[in-house]
Amino acid sequence: MTDALRLAVVGNPVAHSRSPELHALFAQQFGMTLEYDRIECPAGAFVDTVNRLRETGYAGANVTVPYKEEAFAVCDTRTAVADLAQAVNTLHFVDHGVLGDNTDGIGFIRDLTQRCGIEVADRTVVIIGAGGAVRGLMKPLLDQNPAMVVVAGRSPYNAEAIAERFADFGPVQACTYLALKGWQADVLIHASPAGHAGRMPELPKSLLKPAAPCYDLSYGPAHAVFRDWAVARGERPVFDGLGMLVEQGAASFERWSGESPATDAVLQRLKDQLSQSS
């Protein structure tokens, strides 16, 4: 009998996460036995949690908010993608220690451009939020040749650090939410914790161009806050981040298992599960 592949998602909150269902569907494609846990990690306990997972036979873990930058720090080695992002969403426990990767960017771009059909070349892209998830998106997004990427945060510090980090790869500007006045987004990316906090930050009424597509990194009930905010500002396509979850998860699963899962049918299964539970 083959030992089960033991994995987990670590974050706070994680009760909403569909990662266990996602990776179970991936494992079914290859006849693999999988154990996948949700681990809600209190502040200050991330390093101890990672050490416990290593010591008890886990192969790795997905990392979600707010620990992607702490995950970067805990790694012994990192992929080039993770090094550039300075954020890790995938931990792989290997013989020489903890290997960190960041699959957020590839998952985001695959879903944004291929599945949602959003073009960003020569357009102004505004990102609401400046946390670890945004760090993973920046290089793949800039590779699409936007006219400008504006990273907005509640305070200027994280946004400015991201802009400085990625300035060599394309046009990036940082600002606060309040300083977005005067900018108009051809494409809006939402990466703030508003969906879990229950309300959107205060943003300029003129931020969205007519019919500008909007993409939310959140999904499920956490997506509702942003969706309602976006459609209240005019008819437009609004996408949640479930497809990104599936695509970044597929890249993580391949790192742990060596197998590359198909994603379209898995995404539809997760959509069906979410609609039944809502």
Considering Cα of 83, then 88, then 94, then 97, what sign does the dihedral take?
A: positive
SS (H, E, C) 150-214: EEEECCHHHHHHHHHHHHHHCCEEEEECHHHCCCCECEEEECCCHHHHCCCCCCCCCCECCCCCE
Q: Residue 234: helix, strand or coil by DSSP? A: coil
Q: Which residue type, as a one-letter code, is found at position 140?
A: P
Residue ranges in the chain modelled with pLDDT below 70:
1-2, 278
Domain boundaries, the chain: 5-103+243-277, 119-236
Predicted local distance difference test score (pLDDT) of residue 1: 41
Residue whose tokens read 């290593």:
54
Burial class (CB in 10 A: 0-12, 13-18, 19+), 263: buried
Summarised one tens digit per residue, pLDDT across range 100-152 is 999 999 999 999 999 999 999 999 999 999 999 999 999 999 999 999 999 99
What's the distance, CA 218 to chain centroid?
Answer: 8
Identical fold at 5-103+243-277 and 119-236?
yes
Element (H, E) at 78: strand 77-78
- Local structure of residue 103 (DSSP, 8 states): -
Predicted local distance difference test score (pLDDT) of residue 2: 62
Catalytic residues: 68
Measured between alpha carbons, how far apart are the two ends of the chain, in Å?
A: 38
Domain 5-103+243-277, CATH class in plain words: alpha beta
Burial class (CB in 10 A: 0-12, 13-18, 19+), 36: buried
* Predicted structure pTM score: 0.96
Whether the ω angle into residue 156 lies within 30 degrees of 0, i.e. cis, is: no
Summarised one tens digit per residue, pLDDT across range 157-171 is 999 999 999 999 999
Measured distance CA(163)–CA(172) in Å, rounded: 5
Predicted local distance difference test score (pLDDT) of residue 157: 96
Extract the tokens encoding 82. 């993770």
Predicted local distance difference test score (pLDDT) of residue 167: 98
Radius of gyration of the chain (CA): 18
Instruction: Out of 2.60.120.10, 3.40.50.720, 3.40.50.2300, 3.40.50.1820, select the CATH number for domain 119-236.
Output: 3.40.50.720
